Structure 1
């Protein structure tokens, strides 16, 4: 039978274990082999699209622009305090997952839809949604079509190895409508086939249609039908098995979203460190030690915001009114403004 002191020690140990399990005492950040490799290499390697306006596309000087490219820079800034310590690897739809699985890239930020099979059986983990999209159809105005249902019996160009190919089949099958898919492996081939008249319509994510329409010889001769036939939550992905690395990528995105909600911008972030609002102080590392939990400096979010700005700034610069695409925020507005963008708090 245990004595009084032994019983006290057992009780204290049980309470301490319970406190830790309930998250009342912060544990040290887990080790991340991916983060170690990135630091040893001296740069982040980020997989992006081979060229999609608004998301990731190289300019004439080889400089990458787009919201996905900016997110890569944000992760690099979180780790190194330097947005330029990133190497971009352009990947097509077929090779993107293999590149991440094999370790060729550290993170995939390539307008990729978060689905169950990709998040489980492919050995990947998605870390959030950077853009809420939906699949649509582009057609020639001369055809006089008003909705996707009017595409009955049409030939439709689509890229293989994408959710778009599956969504297309589901849409017509559930409505009992005939159609003829015209499938290509590369996006440039899909667009070329549509432009040459080999198909009546071109289907992909709505944002991508907006971007690709600008590349056609006569953009005004084409229109995007109003129907959205799917949910396409696009977001960055990492390999499974390194939860600590996933935390860094996830909270980089969350920091950008929280910053917009709190009114922190690329230009005022330094002055906001002295704000009285405790939410702002925690996010910017002026209060608490929240960076330690993900293996970064406490002011890691300051580096992120100085590098690329908050989520709204990235959106407007690359996709919104400050870009050639001029896509409305819509469902990508903050939750308080009627959109879907929402991030857990830093506390």
Structure 2
């Protein structure tokens, strides 16, 4: 059974003084723009529900103004919800009194921002240890822990340097180390790598994935970049107008986009590498030409399926999890599907 770490139900955030009327309009089916026109209230998040499993990277995507950054801030109540439930390990964080919330934040959750948010008058070691200092950890203990996490992000030799002496990528590593130093259950990352140049961005993604393989934290990661989401996310949730319009694995999002808004994210991206054998079936053959020859499971990745299909002169059977024939792949269907995905036809 999957262990659900975060469970969000019917979560709203409306900015303004007349939230009751605005929420009534939302529930009646009005859009955020219509609500603003009628009430002057700004809708940040509109009746969002989702689960995040323990140890997964869950990516929130959307265009500017879609509500993704507001949503991640609702999780640790940097933004107060208008209504709804945020259950973490069965505890409704949305209902915690302020004093208990502060204690919970210090022990359970950490956040990494786009802007690095380092203190310029503190060196790297003190920046990395800052969260522990705020929690009352004594100096020797917090400095030892800070050095450990600086080692994890490859910056232990820079402990005495100051932020202005570091590159952007190195500053973001310090921000990540500061978050990891408190050993949080949950890591919230809001456009954490978007201020970096493309090469540094990929470097930070690689570092995060490497740490995640070892530490298995629950990570909510906000991004507007589909390539980034596809690379790092176990699952992806796409937001539009304050609503969650689709969630799923990279494969599900790409092969079954919910609407034109979701599909638009794929422009300029070759999504063929996310295909599996089940996506490559030849509709002309419909399995009838399979005669007991080569076969592959439905989940076989494209590169492996392609190698098999192009090495022989007969259709390859595709079988589902119950070992039932789904259909056949031919060289024709393989090339047609790859071409369609590469061009997003």
Same topology, TM > 0.5: no
Normalising by the residue count of structure 1, what TM-score does the alignment of the two structures yield?
A: 0.27
Normalising by the residue count of structure 2, what TM-score does the alignment of the two structures yield?
A: 0.27
Q: Which has the higher strand share?
A: 2
Query: Relative contact order, CA 8 A, sep 6+: which one is greater?
Result: 1
